[in-house]
Amino acid sequence: LAGVAAALLGAVALAFGAQFQNRGVDTAAAGGSGGFGVRGLLGLVRQRRWLAGTGLLVLAVLLQLVGLLLAPLPVVQPLGVLSLVITALLSRRLEHARLQRRGVQGIAVSVVGVVGFVMTAALVTRSAPADAAAVTPVLVLAGVVLLVLLAVVLLRRGRLPALAAGMAGGICFGFVVTLMKALLDRASSAAAQGGLIDSSTPFTLLLLAGAGAAGLGGIVLVQTAYAAGSTGLVVAALTVIDPLVAVALSIGLLGAAAGAPPWALPVLAATQAVAIAGVVLTSLHPPVAEEAAVGPPSP
């Protein structure tokens, strides 16, 4: 329960941080040529809103790590979909936008799917340290994915569609969460045995370096997405891809659902599909400005 509470608070911090970061990116990218390269990224450090958003996102990450330390990854990670709900409400408040009926339905569907997923995962998954043999494929796969994404960004010179950049950022953060979960479990197990430094410490540091590289890639991609699209679209992409990648890696490679009954995986897949469908529906019907909702004045 403490892990779930930390994850929920992290989702709230993520939603507010995304709003502030997006506004800072919009200001920094104003008047640009449409791309968002190194100069645009460096200019963000002068934006107070972006710095405030970054602080909130750091808080969100810390809360998420607490949640991962206290609960299995498949239970904690999908709770980030709450960020989508809060983002929609913030858009209504800060941007004077009205929630569309289909958008509200999408939010409700997402919440139902996530609740079902979390309840099922809480019954059938476990949190235990993964050995180096199980974590190594995740580390190698993260390196390959980062190289591919780096090549794409360089070829496109920072000009990526918002949805593509947001989904790519979500993939990076999915690897960050998985590697950090493995690192935290290993550190917790080592501490319980009397010390954090032993023969496995070099591998633990390698996990930390891999998570840091994936996190840096995700940050760059998400800022690129903010420069090309709305907060709601980026948050929707993150809330779909991030938990999907993290849960798939956790169950498929780290054995989080080892020993689960036969019905568990189909139920987890179905409830995750429901949550994804709700996010897609919400992203297709984002909040609209009140003026647009009312329509143009009649002649």
Residue indicated by tokens 């709003």: 19
- Whether 84 and 19 have beta carbons less than 8 Å apart is answered as no
pTM of the model: 0.75
Mean per-residue pLDDT for 84-113?
76
pLDDT for 205 equals 85
Mean per-residue pLDDT for 164-173?
86
Q: CA–CA separation, 127 vs 238, rounded Å? A: 24
Residues 6+ apart with CB under 8 A from 126: 72, 256, 258, 259
Residue 97: pLDDT above 70?
no
- Whether 126 and 72 have beta carbons less than 8 Å apart is answered as yes
pLDDT for 131 equals 75
pLDDT for 299 equals 47
pLDDT for 30 equals 55
CA-to-CA dists, residue 128 to 69, 73, 140, angstroms: 10, 10, 21
The whole-chain average pLDDT of the chain stands at 77
Reduced 3-state DSSP string for the chain: CHHHHHHHHHHHHHHHHHHHHHHHHHHHHCCCCCCCCHHHHHHHHHCHHHHHHHHHHHHHHHHHHHHHHHCCHHHHHHHHHHHHHHHHHHHHHHCCEECCHHHHHHHHHHHHHHHHHHHHHHHHCCCCCCCHHHHHHHHHHHHHHHHHHHHHHHHHCCCCCHHHHHHHHHHHHHHHHHHHHHHHHHHHHHHHCCCCCCCCHHHHHHHHHHHHHHHHHHHHHHHHHHHHCCHHHHHHHHHHHHHHHHHHHHHHCCCCCCCCCCCHHHHHHHHHHHHHHHHHHHHHCCCEEHHHHHCCCCC
More confident residue, 101 or 33: 101
Percentage with pLDDT > 70 across the chain? 80
